[in-house]
Amino acid sequence: MKYQSVKGMDDLYSPEVENWQALEARSRIFFEAHGFREIRTPVLETTELFTRSIGEASEIVHKEMYTFEDRGGRNLALRPEATAAAVRAVLEHDLIREDEPLYVYYIGAMFRAERPQAGRRRQFHQIGVETLNTRSPANDAELVIMAKNYFEWLGLKRFKVKVNHLGSADDQRRLTRTLTQYFKPLVQNLCKDCQYRFDRNVLRIFDCKVTSCQPLIEKAPKQELSGSARSDFDTILSILGEAQVPLEVEHRLVRGLDYYSGCVFEVTAEGLGAQDAVLAGGRYDSLIQDLGGPNRGAAGFSIGVERLLTALKAAGTCLADLSWGDTVYVAALKHGEESCRFYRSIALGLVQAGKRAHFSFSQTSLSNHLKRASKMKVGYTIIVGEDEWAAREVSLKNMATGVQNRLKPEALVEGFKDV
């Protein structure tokens, strides 16, 4: 019997996996340079964590969560998103300090039991950031600007930022009453999912993508912001304008999770088709308290890794190419068991130099090895031919300059500085 992966959960292997590794590495550099530190949470959490934080009317809880009862009778879920899990971890380990914000980021797999399609997988991956113990509208604007700078730094050329403000708690209650009155006589004209949303959380109707619901949604009343919410949103828009963020105010943008409040935003990119959002986020001031913590503000965003890599490819950017100088092609022309120890010493030298290696033991000519190395866009090639083997040395060739030196494997760290 030939086994296959679970539908909607993909294998990753070379050369595609190098793009993933490069994105993860560059993301860590970017966010840690901005003062964020990584947090890692389990892929399994209690189901209640997500039903309480995300909301029962959301698509995720209503239709998409992987839940099960374990042998101890505990109701568990594969995490469908990471914000609630990160807040749970922060509270459990008492990481919030009263007088300063906490900045964390995460990289990992999420799970949603939805129909696999372009841009949507059952196991997918996210990179996200959370700013905890923050309430300033300037913080929200800085998150959007950081997202803009992140995408530009990666090489994403064409993207658009959509923003909205959900208003204060009183604003949202007023809007809920208004929308209930508006949609009540129209319920039978809505899709079944929207009929469910109407009874649970009428704001979730704005999440609907069904074509027949769109005319009714477009005519629905818009949010009217109170004084403080209006002032906060004006501040955010002013800061984003000064930073020249490619901006669009989208009054129907509510996000699919109940914990969002205040400013919400998403980034869309070309090359993704209908599912064009690569980043989504916003403010969630009540979540920390809802999960048993103190009354502290918070905001953040998450990035879809699969969608971002697709958008970067459409933009002509290959992240693995950006880190080609860290890869070394080893043309292993000398074969046989007696050479294993020597190649092991080369590998240790490359480890100390912080380089990644591609060992090729193909029995072909040196010129063919160099052509392969050039095609792979590596920064250096190490050659082990009969002469090098006899001297127990390697030839280290800089592929950009053509400079080539002979040296011992243990001297590779210094050797990379000389060629």
Mark whether 327 and 305 lie in a shared domain: no
Q: Say yes or no: 345 and 260 in one domain.
A: no
Between CA 414 and CA 419 the distance in angstroms is: 9
The 3-state secondary structure of the chain reads CCCCCCCCCCCCCCCHHHHHHHHHHHHHHHHHHCCCEECCCCCEEEHHHHHHHHCCCCHHHHHHCCEEECCCCCEEEECCCCHHHHHHHHHHCCCCECCECEEEEEEEEEECCCCCECCECCEEEEEEEEEECCCCHHHHHHHHHHHHHHHHHHCCCCEEEEEEECCCHHHHHHHHHHHHHHHHHHHHHCCHHHHHHHHHCHHHHHHCCCHHHHHHHHCCCCCCCCHHHHHHHHHHHHHHHHCCCCEEECCCCCCCCCCCCCEEEEEEECCCCCCCEEEEEEECCCHHHHCCCCCCCEEEEEEEHHHHHHHHHHCCCCHHHHCHHHEEEEEECCCCHHHHHHHHHHHHHHHHHCCEEEEECCCCCHHHHHHHHHHCCCCEEEEECHHHHHHCCEEEEECCCCCEEEECHHHHHHHHHHC
Q: What's the pLDDT at 199?
A: 81
Residue 9 in domain:
no
- Answer whether residue 27 is part of any domain: yes
Task: For residues 350 and 299, state if they share a domain.
Answer: no
In a domain, 214, yes or no: no
- pLDDT > 60? residue 361: yes
Same domain as 302, residue 349: no
Please check whether residue 175 lies inside any domain of the structure. Answer: no
Q: Look at residue 11 and tell me if it is in a domain.
A: no
Domain of 359, CATH number, reads: 3.40.50.800
The pLDDT assigned to 56 comes to 60
Are 135 and 244 found together in one domain? yes
Higher pLDDT, 87 or 209: 87
Q: Which two three-digit tokens encode residue 337?
A: 């068991």
Task: Tell me if 219 is assigned to some domain.
Answer: no
Number of domains in the chain: 2
Stretch 244-257: mean pLDDT, rounded?
83
Where is the domain boundary, 260, 294, 319?
Answer: 319
Please check whether residue 310 lies inside any domain of the structure: yes
The CATH number of residue 116's host domain is: 3.30.930.10
Question: Do residues 259 and 369 share a domain?
Answer: no
Q: What is the mean pLDDT of residues 38-58?
A: 86
Domain enclosing residue 231, as ranges = 16-168+225-319
Tens of pLDDT along 173-190? Answer: 888 898 889 988 888 888
Predicted pLDDT of residue 121: 87
Strands 159-165 and 247-249: parallel
- Peptide bond preceding 116: is omega within 30 degrees of 0, i.e. cis? no
Q: Are residues 61 and 132 in the same domain?
A: yes
pLDDT band at 117 (very low <50, low <70, confident <90, very high): low
- 266 and 382 part of one domain: no
Per the prediction, the chain carries an average pLDDT of 89
- 319, 340, 363: which is the final residue of a domain? 319
Are residues 113 and 40 part of one domain? Answer: yes
What pTM does this model have? 0.83
What pLDDT score does 274 carry?
A: 66
Quick: pLDDT tens for 284-334. 998 999 999 999 999 999 999 999 999 999 888 888 766 556 789 999 998
In a shared domain, residues 347 and 387: yes
In contact, 383 and 367? CB cutoff 8 Å: no
211 falls within a domain:
no
Residue 57 pLDDT exceeds 80: no
Is residue 244 domain-shared with residue 158, that is, in the same domain? yes
* Judgement on whether residues 237 and 377 belong to the same structural domain of the protein: no
More confident residue, 342 or 339: 342
Highest-pLDDT range among 72-76, 204-208, 217-221: 72-76
Q: Which of 319, 334, 368 is the last residue of a domain?
A: 319
Rounded CA-CA distance 172/168 in Å is 6
Q: What is the pLDDT of residue 62?
A: 60
Contacts with 410 (C-beta within 8 Å, 6 or more apart), sequence order: 345, 349
